[in-house]
């Protein structure tokens, strides 16, 4: 028996069916979101969404509507709320824009597996849905098709053409966004029903969300865990390849516990960078071309590789370079909640379908080679010692900093009270290759599409979720220009963050790869400090490492959104720092 305190139950079970015609679609949408315990709705409204706003007003104590300046920023913020909390972030926008401008956050959520629910409409005008009136997204002749656009990115979509379908669609969308592998789902409301009342129909009774959401996931198979334990117990140089599935509090704790107890090396994917303290005795860092040489060496030299919550995707495993991971010589096992990921890219001798944290907890009941622990730790220490980071970063031109200077300054500045988001470009490659994260969970990255402009809205969302933290966005000038309107949202919503913009007046990463044939990569100079001031933020331009450090300190204590515009030498390249 479920405790049914819901308004739906009362409505559905009422002997007098009067309740049915007193609830409109928009009321049901808002009440269902509250029932689902959605805390924020990120939006830039239009048409059908505008018709729902009054209802959100009536419930503004229970559900915070965050107005952004673009659908792109709204969708990124919803995705990051999902990523950080494990519960769907809600993104609401008008059909044609929700599915285009706002596709950015949806795609990121899809590739990075972040739970997110999109609420949108067909943007059709009463009775004219089939005539392709401008903005219309019904999919009828002459119109575009919002549902089909969303289907290319969302795990599942629902098309709501009757009022009572709205709450059920939302409940299902919420559930499917949350089930592994998590991702975005979408509810498309036919605009014309948004203001309409529910009608009584005995076959469409409404039940509360609780009855749909409580799903027990499969536990790890005990025999398979025992086999994995045997495999690990005999390993001289075992490496855990840890992925996105472990980038949550319980996952991080389990990885640390098992690796420390048995001396297992922890190498991570990009999404899992910083899942354990990267300076600790078990950590070899992030894998791949844009990762750390120590991680790549450890995986190369390992005799046993166990992927945990990691797809073993080519992007962080050197695109299946035959001299890197060698299935004929190394023993490979994989644990993934999604059976489709097991043995996807690399063949494995053992694949376990389970949540990684559950599997590691079960493994802890076995002896994974205690007698070999010290020898394993000595091997890891040797790997670490061979690959120090931030040792000889190239000097920058006078009055400017190199990307390495920014990373060194952040390395000295970051404390457990800070969160750091990354964006795209050469500034990011410097961070992933050279910044060792000491506080697990501190680093928040765009691990899906890795699009420019993600990092600063991500920082704003991180501040919303973790108001107690000092949140820093490290971004390029190209990236910041794409979504800097979020600075205004930070002021409006009281989300003070620090933005460090590595301003090298161009698309550094692309420019670095062009050499002499330089075209399409240089921007006119932009003063982000003054732009920030114009949006009601603090803005400061820095030309030295000392000034950067000072500005970071000042921002931490100012309680205001601060943009630190760092003059970066355009010659400061990522080439050479990554592990090509």
Distance of CA 115 to the CA centre of its chain: 9
Nearest-angstrom CA–CA distance, 264 and 104: 37
Report the residue number whose CB is nearest to ligand TPP.
476
Q: Does 427 bind ligand TPP (CB under 6 A)?
A: yes
Q: Does 407 bind ligand TPP (CB under 6 A)?
A: no
Pick out residues in 441-480 that bind ligand TPP (CB under 6 A).
450-453, 476-479
Number of residues that bind Mg ion (CB under 5 A): 5
Nearest-angstrom CA–CA distance, 453 and 446: 10
Separation in Å, CA 190 to CA 106, 162, 187 = 20, 8, 10
Contact of residue 243 among ligand TPP, Mg ion, none (CB under 5-8 Å per partner type): none
Q: Which of 45, 508, 539, 570 binds Mg ion (CB under 5 A)?
A: 508
Q: Does 475 bind Mg ion (CB under 5 A)?
A: no
Nearest-angstrom CA–CA distance, 243 and 285: 12
**Helical pair 545-558 and 403-413, crossing angle rounded to 10 deg:** 40
Q: Which of 478, 496, 539, 570 binds Mg ion (CB under 5 A)?
A: 478
Closer of 138 and 271 to ligand TPP (Cβ): 271
Helix (H) or strand (E) run with residue 168 in it: helix 165-178
DSSP, res 506: B
Shortest distance, CB of residue 478 to Mg ion, whole angstroms? 5
Q: Does 567 bind ligand TPP (CB under 6 A)?
A: no
Pick out residues in 237-296 that bind Mg ion (CB under 5 A).
none
Closer of 19 and 394 to Mg ion (Cβ): 394
Closer of 451 and 496 to ligand TPP (Cβ): 451
Q: Does 177 bind ligand TPP (CB under 6 A)?
A: no
Q: Name the segment binding Mg ion (CB under 5 A); options: 16-24, 119-127, 452-460, 477-485.
A: 477-485
Nearest-angstrom CA–CA distance, 49 and 27: 12
Shortest distance, CB of residue 101 to ligand TPP, whole angstroms? 12
Q: Does 502 bind ligand TPP (CB under 6 A)?
A: yes
Q: Which two tokens stand for residue 230?
A: 């045997």
Helix (H) or strand (E) run with residue 293 in it: helix 293-301
Query: On the CB side of 399, how many CA atoms lie within 13 Å of its CA?
Result: 1
Closer of 297 and 569 to ligand TPP (Cβ): 569
Q: Are 454 and 480 in contact (CB under 8 A)?
A: no
x-or-dash pattern for ligand TPP, window 506-525, by CB under 6 A?
xxxxx---------------
Given the structure tokens 């990522």, which residue do they identify?
574
Nearest-angstrom CA–CA distance, 109 and 89: 10
* Interface with ligand TPP (CB under 6 A): 424-427, 450-453, 476-479, 502, 504, 506-510
* Interface with Mg ion (CB under 5 A): 476-478, 504, 508
């Amino acid at each position: 028996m479920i405790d049914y305190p819901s308004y739906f139950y009362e409505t559905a079970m009422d002997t007098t069916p009067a309740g049915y015609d007193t609830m409109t679609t928009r009321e049901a949408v808002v009440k269902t979101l509250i029932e689902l315990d959605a805390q924020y709705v990120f939006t830039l409204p239009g048409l059908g969404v505008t018709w729902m706003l009054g209802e959100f007003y009536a419930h503004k104590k229970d559900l915070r509507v965050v107005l952004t300046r673009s659908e792109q920023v709204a969708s990124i913020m919803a995705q990051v709320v999902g990523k950080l909390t494990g519960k769907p972030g809600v993104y609401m926008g008008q059909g044609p824009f929700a599915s285009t401008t706002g596709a950015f956050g949806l795609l990121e959520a899809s590739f990075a597996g972040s739970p997110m629910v999109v609420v949108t409409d067909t943007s059709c005008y009463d009775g004219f849905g089939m005539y392709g009136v401008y903005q219309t997204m019904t999919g009828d002749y002459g119109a575009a098709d919002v549902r089909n656009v969303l289907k290319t990115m969302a795990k599942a979509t629902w098309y709501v053409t009757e009022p009572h379908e709205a709450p059920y669609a939302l409940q299902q969308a919420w559930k499917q966004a949350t089930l592994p592998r998590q991702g975005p789902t979408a509810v498309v409301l036919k605009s014309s029903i948004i203001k309409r009342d529910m009608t009584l129909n005995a076959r469409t009774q409404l039940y509360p969300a609780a009855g749909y959401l409580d799903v027990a996931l499969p536990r790890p198979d005990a025999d398979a865990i025992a086999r994995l334990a045997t495999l690990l117990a005999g390993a001289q140089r075992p490496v855990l390849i840890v992925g996105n599935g472990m980038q949550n509090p319980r996952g991080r704790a389990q990885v640390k516990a098992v690796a420390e107890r048995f001396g297992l090396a922890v190498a991570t994917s990009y999404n899992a960078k910083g899942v354990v303290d990267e300076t600790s005795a078990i950590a070899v860092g992030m894998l791949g071309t844009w990762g750390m040489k120590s991680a790549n060496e450890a995986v190369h030299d390992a005799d046993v590789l166990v992927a945990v919550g990691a797809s073993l995707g080519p992007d962080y495993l050197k695109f299946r370079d035959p001299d890197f991971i060698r299935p004929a010589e190394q023993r490979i096992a994989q644990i993934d909640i999604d059976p489709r990921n097991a043995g996807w890219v690399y063949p494995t001798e053992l694949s376990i379908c389970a949540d990684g944290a559950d599997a590691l907890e079960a493994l802890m009941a076995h002896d994974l080679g205690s007698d070999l622990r010290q020898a394993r730790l000595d091997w890891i220490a040797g790997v670490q010692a061979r690959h120090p980071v931030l040792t000889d970063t190239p000097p920058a031109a006078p009055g400017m900093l190199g990307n390495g200077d920014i990373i060194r300054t952040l390395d000295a500045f970051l404390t457990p009270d800070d969160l750091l988001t990354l964006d795209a470009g050469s500034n990011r490659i410097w961070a992933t290759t050279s910044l060792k994260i000491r506080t697990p969970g501190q680093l928040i990255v765009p691990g899906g599409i890795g699009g420019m402009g993600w990092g600063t809205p991500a920082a704003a969302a991180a501040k919303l979720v973790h108001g107690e933290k000092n949140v820093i966005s490290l971004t390029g000038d190209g990236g910041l220009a794409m979504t800097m309107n979020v600075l205004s949202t930070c002021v409006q919503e009281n989300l003070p963050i620090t933005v460090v913009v590595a301003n090298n007046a161009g698309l550094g990463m692309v420019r670095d790869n062009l050499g002499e044939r330089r075209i399409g990569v240089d921007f006119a100079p932009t003063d982000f400090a003054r732009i920030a001031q114009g949006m009601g933020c603090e803005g400061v331009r820095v030309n030295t490492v000392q000034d950067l450090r000072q500005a970071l300190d000042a921002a931490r204590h100012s309680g205001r959104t601060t943009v630190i515009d760092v003059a970066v030498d355009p010659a400061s390249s990522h080439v050479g720092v990554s592990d090509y």
